[in-house]
C-alpha cells in the first residue's frame, strides 16, 4: 500500500509540473505575439514599415514628410551618462524605458514634422525621432533643431487632450517595454 501512495504522489507531482509548464508556455506565447492595433486611447507601437512608423506619429496628431530625413543605427549605451538619464526620463514619461535596451543596436528614424504649431511655414525646423527595435517603437522624441530649441515626448502639446493622451490606457508598460528578444548589439 505504501508503494502505491508513493507512485500516486509521483503521478500527481508530474501532472502538476506539466500543468505549470503548459501554463508558462501559453503565457509566454500570449505575451510575445504581436499585439493588434489597440482601440480607444491605447497606442500602437508597431513600426515594421514606413506606413506603420508614420501611423505611429499620427496617433499623436503629427503630420510628417513622406520620406524620413535620416535612418541610422544607434547603440544604446550599456551605462547611461547624465544625457542618457535625462533622455530616458522623457521615455519613462511616455511609458517607455531605454534601459531595457542597454547595449543593443537599434535604428533611429528621423522625420520632418510639418504641422507643429508656430512652425507651419518653417521647413525642417521640427523633427520626430523614432527609436525602433525588432519592429517596435522603444523610444523617441519631438525636437527643434534651433540653437535654443526644445525636446519633448511624442505627445502633441497643442492637440486636444482626447486625441493625444500620450498614455497607453489599454496597453501596459509591461507590454510596451518587454525585454528584447535578440542578443545585445545584434542585428536590427
Three-state SS letters, the chain: CHHHHHHHHHHHHHHHHHHHHHHHHHHHHHHHCCCCCCCCCCCCCECCCHHHHHHHHHCCCCCECCCCCEEEEEECCCCCCHHHHHHHHHHHHCCCCHHHHCCCEEEEEEEEECCCCCCCCCCCCEEEEEEEECCEEEEEEEEECCCCCCEECCCCCCCCCCCCCCCCCCCCHHHHCCCCCCCCCCCC
What's the pLDDT at 119? 86
pTM of the model: 0.66
Give me the residues of the chain with pLDDT under 50, please: 4, 32-40, 163-177, 186-188
- Residue 73 has a pLDDT of 97
pLDDT of residue 130: 96
Amino acid at each position: 500500500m505504501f508503494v502505491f501512495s508513493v507512485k500516486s504522489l509521483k503521478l500527481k507531482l508530474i501532472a502538476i509540473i506539466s500543468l505549470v509548464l503548459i501554463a508558462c508556455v501559453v503565457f509566454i506565447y500570449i505575451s510575445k505575439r504581436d499585439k493588434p492595433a489597440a482601440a480607444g486611447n491605447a497606442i500602437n507601437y508597431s513600426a515594421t514599415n514606413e506606413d506603420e512608423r508614420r501611423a505611429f506619429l499620427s496617433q499623436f496628431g503629427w503630420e510628417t514628410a513622406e520620406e524620413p530625413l535620416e535612418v541610422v543605427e544607434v547603440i544604446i549605451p550599456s551605462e547611461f551618462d547624465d544625457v542618457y538619464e535625462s533622455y530616458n526620463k522623457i521615455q519613462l514619461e511616455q511609458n517607455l524605458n531605454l534601459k531595457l535596451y542597454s547595449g543593443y543596436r537599434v535604428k533611429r528614424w528621423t522625420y520632418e514634422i510639418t504641422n507643429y504649431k508656430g512652425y507651419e511655414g518653417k521647413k525642417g525646423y521640427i523633427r520626430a525621432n523614432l527609436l525602433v527595435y525588432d519592429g517596435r517603437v522603444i523610444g523617441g522624441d519631438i525636437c527643434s533643431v534651433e540653437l535654443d530649441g526644445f525636446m519633448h515626448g511624442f505627445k502633441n502639446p497643442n492637440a486636444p487632450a482626447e486625441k493625444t493622451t500620450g498614455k497607453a490606457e489599454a496597453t501596459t508598460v509591461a507590454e510596451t517595454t518587454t525585454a528584447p528578444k535578440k542578443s545585445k548589439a545584434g542585428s536590427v
